[in-house]
Amino acid sequence: MSFIKNAWYIAAWSSEITDKPLARTLGGDPVVIYRDAEGKAAVLQDRCCHRGAPLSLGEVVPMGLQCNYHGMVFGTDGKCVHIPGQDRIPSKACVRAYPVVERDETLWIWLGDPATADPTQILDYPFNSNHRNWPHKYGLMQVAGHYMHVIDNLMDLTHLGFVHKNTIGSGASKAYVDALMKSERTPTGVRFTRWMLNHEPPATYVKAVGFKGKVDRWQEFEFVAPGNVVQFTGATDAGTGAYDQNKRDGGFALRILHSVTPETDTSCHYFFVPAHGYRQDEPEATEQLFDEIYRTFLEDKQFIEKQQERLTRWPDPQVDMISDGARVQARRYVAERLAQEANATDSRPVAA
C-alpha cells in the first residue's frame, strides 16, 4: 500500500474505545481496538494466532483480550497470557501489537517499524481536551478513496463553489478564487491561509457573534503529514488587525481537525472534529455546526469516491490548475517522505 508507514495516524477517538472490541482495518490490515480491564487502550492484529479467528469476536476478561473461539487470552503487548487446559504457553503464541498513544481524547497508532515509534512526533492538538473554550463533537466517515484524495480536497478550496455550491459554498466561487492566498512549506507539511478582507460576513457568522458591518475573514489550513489537516477559520471586524497584526480574538472562530487514516489503497477513515470558539455555552451550537460539517463532507465524499473509481481506471493524465498550488506542495512533501522510507528500506544491511 502507498502511504507513509513510519508515522502516527488516528486509530480511533477515545470515546469509541471500550471493553467491547472494535474491528477496524488500518493501513490495509484488520486490527482490533479495545480497552483492557485496567482501562488501557490497545490495538492488536485482529487474528488469533491459534486458528485465525478474529479477536474482535472476543471479549475483555480480567487477564486480557480473550479469543472467543477456543479461549486464548492476550495482553496489550500481544503476548498470549492464557491457554485453556494447559500451563505452558509457547513463546510463539502472540499477535502483532501496535505502538499506540492515547492523548487529548484520541488514540494515535504507529503503523510502521515499532522501534522507530516516537511519541514526540504526534500532532499537538490540545483543543480536543479543551471543552470549555472549544466545545466540539467527534466525527468519523468512511470514504472509498485513497486517503490522499481527502487531503487534496482540503488543500484546494476552489472546490467549495462547485461541490458545495448549494451549501457552504453558495455563491462563493468568485470570492474564493479571488482571495488573498499565502502558502508555505513547514517542517511537517504545508500551510496556506486565504484572507478575504473587508468582506460581507456570512449569515451564519452574523448569527453567531452579531457582526454589525464588514469583516476580515481568514481560512488557515495546515497539512501536517501523514494525514492531518488543521483548519482554523474566523473573522473579526474589518480593519481591526487580524490580517496585519495577527489579532484574531473576539470575533468568529472555528477549528476543525481533519485526520485521515488509510484503510486500504482505495479507502480511508476520515476522522474530524469541529470546535467552535463562540457561543460556547450553547450545546445546540455544537450540534448545528457538526450537522452542517457532516452534510458538507457527504458532498465531498461523493466526489472523492467517484474520483477514485476513475483514477483506478485511468490514473493519467492529471492536468494541474493554478489553484492546485498548496495541494501540489502537500503531494510533493508526501512523495519525499515515501522516497525516504523506500531508501531506508533498501539500504538495510543484507547478510552476505
Residue ranges of E strands in the chain: 8-13, 22-26, 29-35, 41-45, 59-61, 64-66, 73-74, 80-82, 100-103, 106-110, 139-143, 180-186, 189-199, 215-224, 228-237, 252-264, 267-276
**CB of 89 vs a second copy, minimal distance in Å:** 10
Q: For residues 329-344, b (16+ Cβ closer than 10 Å) or e, as one string? A: bbbebbeebeeebeee
Instruction: Candidates 203, 319, 351, 352: give the one binding a second copy (CB under 8 A).
Output: 319
Is 311 a binding residue for a second copy by CB under 8 A? The answer is yes
**CB of 175 vs a second copy, minimal distance in Å:** 11
Is 47 a binding residue for a second copy by CB under 8 A? The answer is yes
Nearest CB to a second copy, comparing residues 174 and 348: 174
Site for a second copy in 73-132 (CB under 8 A): 80, 83-86, 90, 92-93
Is 323 a binding residue for a second copy by CB under 8 A? The answer is yes
Residue 150 and residue 270 in contact, taking contact as beta carbons nearer than 8 Å: yes
Instruction: Candidates 13, 265, 303, 328: give the one binding a second copy (CB under 8 A).
Output: 303
Is 52 a binding residue for a second copy by CB under 8 A? The answer is yes
Q: Which stretch binds a second copy (CB under 8 A): 188-196, 202-210, 319-327, 336-344?
A: 319-327
Instruction: Candidates 132, 212, 310, 348: give the one binding a second copy (CB under 8 A).
Output: 310
Instruction: Candidates 14, 16, 30, 288: give the one binding a second copy (CB under 8 A).
Output: 30
Cell of residue 240, nine digits: 481591526
Nearest CB to a second copy, comparing residues 29 and 102: 29
Q: For residues 262-284, b (16+ Cβ closer than 10 Å) or e, as one string? A: bbeebbbbbbbbbbbbbbeeeee
Site for a second copy in 53-72 (CB under 8 A): 53-54, 57, 66-72
Instruction: Candidates 41, 111, 150, 163: give the one binding a second copy (CB under 8 A).
Output: 163
Give the type of residue at 26.
Answer: L
Question: Binding-site residue total for a second copy (CB under 8 A)?
Answer: 53
Nearest CB to a second copy, comparing residues 31 and 225: 31
Q: Which has the closest alpha carbon to 125: 110, 103, 147? A: 103
Q: Which has the closest alpha carbon to 41: 120, 96, 107? A: 107
Q: Which has the closest alpha carbon to 260: 129, 153, 333? A: 153
- Distance CA(4)–CA(142), nearest Å, equals 20
Q: Give the containing element (helix H, strand E) for 162.
A: helix 160-163
**CB of 12 vs a second copy, minimal distance in Å:** 20
Beta bridge partners of 275: 136, 255
Interacting residue ranges for a second copy, rule: CB under 8 A: 29-30, 46-47, 49-54, 57, 66-72, 80, 83-86, 90, 92-93, 152, 156, 158-159, 161-163, 165, 173, 177-178, 302-303, 306-307, 309-311, 313-314, 317-323
